[in-house]
Amino acid sequence: MDYCPAMTLAHRLLIPLTLCLSAPLWALDDRNTLLLSSDERCLLSNTSGETVEQALASCTQWASNGERQAQFELGQFWLKQPLERQDLPQALHWLELASLQGQAEAQRLLGLMYWQGQGVEPSSVQAYIILKMAAVNGSDQAMDDADRLAEHMQRSELAIATQVLGDIFRRYLDELQALPSNAPAPIAPLITP
């Protein structure tokens, strides 16, 4: 397969946004007391010593099964480690997966990674877009981060980011308007690169 920089940029820019407005794709029945939410199964922040490896294994299993909170916790875990233990490719992988499911804090951390060039090529445009989507999904801190980033962006970069965000929302609104009045609203905007 030939390397295409434009496709790589489009893929990295648009694909993570494809599902960022989506409601969680996974849901647990609150009436079933045998099921625990991923918050209760994946407690990487509350482990120490020998239990860290056990918690990592368990959390990785849940994340691999699509649990967005477990994906977020793994991404955060690998990102927040001391430099000698930090694993940015792992952090990027898990944060991208959680971001695709609309996990706002995963999106915020992913946006910060692009802003700071942690494990990825730095991109103010991509960072701004992802931070704005995290804000739409409920992260107040992401809105503040996007505003701070905008102060450092060139006008042309901000115009590109604003155009992409506008296109995303226009497509979503067009899709909503095209639905019959009795159809359920779509969960996420349809974005095709």
Position 124 scores a pLDDT of 97
Say if CB 68 and CB 39 are below 8 A apart.
Answer: no
CB atoms within 10 A of CB 190: 11
Position 63 scores a pLDDT of 93
Spatial neighbors of 21 by CB under 8 A, at least 6 apart, are 102, 133, 136, 137, 172, 187, 188, 189
- Short-list 148, 157, 92, 99, CA closest to 124: 157
Task: Please report, in tens digits, the pLDDT of each residue of the chain (193 residues total).
Answer: 444 444 444 444 444 444 344 333 333 333 333 333 444 456 666 655 558 888 888 889 999 999 999 999 999 999 999 989 999 999 999 999 999 999 999 999 999 999 999 999 999 999 999 999 999 999 999 999 999 999 999 999 999 999 999 998 888 788 888 888 777 766 554 333 3
Task: Provide the whole-model pTM.
Answer: 0.71
Spatial neighbors of 96 by CB under 8 A, at least 6 apart, are 16, 75, 110
Spatial neighbors of 36 by CB under 8 A, at least 6 apart, are 28
Cα–Cα distance, 126 to 121 (Å, whole number)? 10
Spatial neighbors of 137 by CB under 8 A, at least 6 apart, are 20, 21, 102, 103, 104, 107
Position 11 scores a pLDDT of 43
Cα–Cα distance, 23 to 151 (Å, whole number)? 31
Position 117 scores a pLDDT of 96
How does pLDDT run across 61-94, given as a tens digit for each residue?
A: 999 999 999 999 999 999 999 989 999 999 999 9
Position 169 scores a pLDDT of 84
Spatial neighbors of 80 by CB under 8 A, at least 6 apart, are 86
